[in-house]
Amino acid sequence: MAKPYDVLIAREYTNSNGEVKTEWLRAGVAFENKSGGFNIEVATGLALTGKAVILPRRERAEDDGPTDE
């Protein structure tokens, strides 16, 4: 089976200290296709706007929260 990639959407927010931070939301999954591109599956009911990033899937602990990467 092809290696999965995460499709991530960046959402900026201002924290309680007034700092602008970025939260990465997992919007779906992508798989490389035979043509060298990607097939993307977006989560059901999710409307996408803005910029998306495709990154190799990273294993995360279930208790991991949002990151400010």
Write out pLDDT tens, residues 10-51.
989 999 999 999 999 999 999 999 999 999 999 898 888 888
Q: What is the pLDDT of residue 65?
A: 52
Q: 């990465």: which residue's tokens? A: 24
- Is pTM beyond 0.75? Reply is no
Q: What is the pLDDT of residue 8?
A: 93
Q: 């400010």: which residue's tokens? A: 68
Checking DSSP bridges between strand 20-32 and strand 38-42, what pairing results, if any? Answer: antiparallel
Residues 10 and 20 sit within 8 Å (Cβ to Cβ): no
d(CA 35, CA 47): 27
| Amino acid present at 63 | D
Domain spans of the chain, in order of start: 4-56
